[in-house]
Amino acid sequence: MEGIKTFSVTSDKLLHISGAEAVVRCLLSEGVNVIYGYPGGAIMPVYDELYKFQDQLHHVLTRHEQGAAHAAQGYARVSGKVGVAIATSGPGATNLITCIADAMIDSTPIVCITGQVGAHLLGSDAFQETDVIGISTPITKWNYQITNANEIPEVFAKAFYIARSGRPGPVLIDITKNAQFDFMDFDYQKCTGVRSYEPEIKVDSKKIKKAVELIDQAEKPMVIWGQGVILGDAETELKEFIEKSGIPAIWTILGLSALPTDHPLNMGMAGMHGNYAANLLTNECDLLIAVGMRFDDRVTGDLNTYAKQAKIIHLELDESEVNKNVLVDLVLLGDCKDSLGLMTKGIKSKTYPQWIQKFKDLYQIEYHKVIKKEINPKSGLLTMAETIEKINQHSKGDAIIVTDVGQHQMVACRYAKFTQSKSNVTSGGLGTMGFALPAAMGAKMGAPERQVIAIIGDGGFQMTIQELGTIFQTDIGVKIVILNNNFLGMVRQWQQLFFDKRYASTELINPDFVTIAKGYHIKSKQVDKREELDECISGMLGHEGPFLLEVIVQQEENVFPMVPSGACVSSVRLE
């Protein structure tokens, strides 16, 4: 394939094998040892070869293709490796689309492999033919349709290189059935570069000098960091930078866990349900240093009022994100690991006692008006926040927390404690309900030595509930906590606040989750009494295998603080 730089990882003697076997050998050459998928007619030749190589490559049979790709995402997020999902043509391929879009917007490196009808049938509307290349083009970093077996090694090498390099993302490979059956001489060469694709950008030393000047001159600086810190393995550099500079730092939900939550300069979450101080003081700082984040609308609120008083420095790897939403004063293109390290060397050691005190004072206001009531309620049903707080007490901040989407997601991000990076796994940009259960499966397989806890709402849980079958069959020791309020909680909150309590199609009549879990031979329990919560969580975390704990929580509990959609971040509400 023209424009690809490679180096060989094979012997001089070439294997004459089928395209299907070549697919499996490509995966092994890339160090893949687990894939998630669901078989079907158009991908059956590859599955036949997977059967022959099952001692080297573990295939996890999910109950839905969506589960396969979300599991690949969870695996990638905690392991730092490329996740792999595989499906057949037609509906199998289209069932991957939501996950691919999720991976694209959250910069998750996955390779999705789909079967396709024979090349001679392309464009004929054959049985289970779908133009998955056309469908996935806007939501993949790269995609390619293989129609000839000889293309397989080069395409796979390029796919893995693109998925993991630079700003990571999803790649899709569509393979026609004839290409799987045909024979070819196998020679796998890992890709080390692609013409016109430059994932590595050298940091401009002159701009670093300018950044240092701005930092040293600032009186009320603030850092806001995102997932780019984690993707760039820059956690140590971020910590060293804020400690030398003395600058308080806030985070986006995908950046959570890059810095320990109890670090004295960690001032909490930015955005719609972020902390009071983080939002208010964004519009008071005189310098905002944005590291590996893209100024998403849920973070900025009204762009016309966002940090207008501040100089802004943006550390970013992807040039397309620069000045896309927020116009900045200084751009530091390149790996934030390098940029942070260079800035730390150049800046002066400083402290900002009065500025830091402002954060502390505003936290006290938030604590007394919101936090205290949520984590230590005096009466009534259990709250989401006290459940997370009780999990913290038992996990000591060492667990991986995988959240679905909704109120429970925001509560978990606000209250969960973390001591190490790659511990917060959630669907950020796309907000995909049904994400958590399969992503938790992948996370547990990506970090088997760690405790993995899925925090899920009763609505999102039912979108991928069938993956309990995968957990049972594969014996994945994930812990599942359903925060059940019998509502689509986040939508209900908006209906209460902005639609005069017209709860249109948000109340749920739920099944017996405990009985369903037992049907899948997964140990389970329901709790609705405060005095039993501690024992139930202790029992769940101490259980050897998978466990489902259903926690009955307040039906009309709201998540505050809250910045109304499209409002200024300074308009953050505490009630």
Q: What are the catalytic residues?
A: 65, 127-128, 177, 490
Indicate the helix (H) or strand (E) that contains 491.
helix 489-498
Distance CA 120, CA 133 (A): 17
In sequence order, the 6+-apart residues with CB closer than 8 A to the CB of 56 are: 28, 33
Give the ranges where 3-63 is alpha helix by DSSP (H): 19-29, 44-52
**Pairing of β 183-186 and β 15-18:** antiparallel
For residue 101, which of 344, 334, 471, 429 has the smallest C-alpha distance? 429
CB atoms within 10 A of CB 131: 14
Contact (CB, 8 A) for 403 and 106: no
Helix axes 65-79, 436-446, angle to 10 degrees: 40
Distance CA 497, CA 511 (A): 28
For residue 231, which of 427, 417, 76 has the smallest C-alpha distance? 76
φ, ψ for residue 188, nearest 5 deg: -95, 125
Helix axes 336-346, 235-245, angle to 10 degrees: 20
Q: What is the side-by-side strand order in the sheet with 58-61? A: 58-61, 34-37, 83-87, 110-116, 170-176, 142-146
Contact (CB, 8 A) for 481 and 392: no
How does DSSP assign 291-343, residue by residue?
Answer: ES----HHHHBSTTTTTTTSEEEEEES-GGGTTSSS--SEEEES-HHHHHHHH
Contact (CB, 8 A) for 285 and 247: no
CB atoms within 10 A of CB 51: 10
Tokens 């293989």 — which residue?
Answer: 146
Residue 542 CB burial class (10 angstroms; 0-12, 13-18, ≥19): exposed
Tokens 């259980």 — which residue?
Answer: 543
Rounded to a whole number of angstroms, the CA Rg of the chain reads 24
Largest Cα span, the chain? 74
252: Cα within 13 Å, side-chain hemisphere: 25
